[in-house]
Amino acid sequence: MVAITSFWDERKLLVFVTLIILASVVMLVELDAARRSERSFSDQIVNTVIVPVEDVVTQTASAVAIEFHTLAHSGSMAAENTALERKVQQLAATNERLKERAAENMQLRRMLGLAQTMAVHTVAASVVGYAPEGSRREISIDRGWRDGVIRDAVVINGDGLVGHVIDAGAHDAHVLLVIDPSSNVPAYLRGTRTWGIVTGTWQHIRMKYIGQDVKVRFGDTVITGKGQIYPEGIVIGTVREVDRRDNALYQSAVIVPAVDFDGLTHVLVLKK
C-alpha cells in the first residue's frame, strides 16, 4: 500500500516538473520573439488556429442569418415577382397593340395618298368579313350602294389591286379577290408593255398568254390594263417564276401579289 502511494506521488512530481519545463520553454520563446520584434508563439497559435475558426463561425452565422431573412420574406418576394411578371405581360401586350396601330396608320396614309392621285372618287371601307375556307376567295366590307358602292366597282388598298365588287347591299358588299381562280384581269408587264391575263391560283396569281418571244424577268412588275372593269395602272404584283416551254404557244409567270390578303383591314372602292 505504501509502495502504491509512493508511485502515484512520483507520477505527480513528474507531471509537475514537465509543466514547469514547458512553461519555461514558452516564456523563453516569448522573450526571444519580443527581442526580435516578431509575433509571439501564442499570437501565432491564435492567428493560425483561433482566428480561422472565428472567421468560419462568423461566415456561417451570416449565411444562416441571410437564409432566415430570405425565408421570412419569401412570401413578399414571390408576390413582387408575380406583380413584375404581370407588368411585363401588360407592357408586351401594349407594345403589340401600338405596333398594330402603327402598321394600320401607315396603311391608311398610303391609301389616302393613293386616293388623292386617283382620277375618280373613292370610298374608304373596312374589311368586316373573310372566309379563308370558303368556296371563293372573297371579303365583306362595311360599305354598300347607299355609299356609292356598286357591282363591278374596283377595290384597291395602299399596296395595289384587291379585286372587284360582286354584289352590294345597302350597307355592305362582297369583294372577289384577285387571287380567286374565277378572277380574270387584263394586265401587262410594265417593263416591256407585254399583255396577258392575270388569274388567281388561290394563294398567288398567274399571268397567262404571254408571247413566247417576250423576255420575262424575275421581279418584273405587273399592272392592270384598261378593260371593262379595271382601269389602267394599278399594281398587281411582281414576277416570281417563269414557266416557258418550247412547244407551247405562250409562256406564263407566277406573280406574287402586292397586297397582303391575310392582313387586309382597310380598302378603297373606286366609284364608277
pLDDT per position as a tens digit, 237-268: 999 999 888 888 899 999 999 999 988 888 99
Residue 226 lies in a domain: yes
Give residue 56's pLDDT. 54
Residues 28 and 134 in one domain: no
193 pLDDT above the threshold of 80: yes
Task: Classify residue 53: in a domain, yes or no.
Answer: no
**Would 101 be classed as within a structural domain?**
no
pTM equals 0.60
Whether residue 67 is contained in a domain is answered as no
In a domain, 40, yes or no: no
Q: How far is CA 89 from CA 77, 81, 86, 100, 144, in A?
A: 18, 12, 5, 17, 40
Q: Which one has a higher pLDDT value, 18 or 74?
A: 18
Q: What is the pLDDT of residue 244?
A: 86
Q: Are 140 and 127 in contact (CB under 8 A)?
A: yes
Query: How confident is the model at residue 110, as a pLDDT?
Result: 67
**CA–CA separation, 28 and 21 (whole Å):** 11
Question: Looking at residue 145, what DSSP letter applies?
Answer: G
Higher per-residue confidence, 228 vs 111: 228
Q: Round to whole Å and give the CA distance between 72 and 61.
A: 16
For residue 111, the model assigns a pLDDT of 64
Q: Which residues pair with 235 in a beta bridge?
A: 223
Most confident of 11-20, 37-46, 64-73, 164-173: 164-173
Specify the CATH number for the domain of residue 213: 2.40.10.350
Residue 37's pLDDT is 54
- The residue that leads in pLDDT, 88 or 215, is 215
Q: For residue 112, is it within any domain?
A: no
Collapsing DSSP to helix, strand or coil, 174 comes out as strand
Amino acid at 159: D
Regarding whether 126 and 28 lie in a shared domain, the answer is no
Domain that holds residue 8: 2-35
Q: Is residue 83 part of a domain?
A: no
How many domains would you assign to the chain?
2
Q: Does the structure show a pLDDT above 60 at 204?
A: yes
What is the arithmetic mean of pLDDT over 128-155?
89
Tell me the C-alpha distance between 252 and 245, whole Å: 9
The neighbour count for residue 140, using CB atoms within 10 Å, is 16
Averaged pLDDT, 210-227: 91
pLDDT of amino acid 181: 94
CB-based contacts of 215: which residues, under 8 Å, 6+ apart? Answer: 192
Has residue 110 been placed in a domain? Answer: no
Percent of the chain with pLDDT over 90: 38
Does residue 27 share a domain with residue 125?
Answer: no
Is 250 within 8 Å of 244 (Cβ atoms)? Answer: no
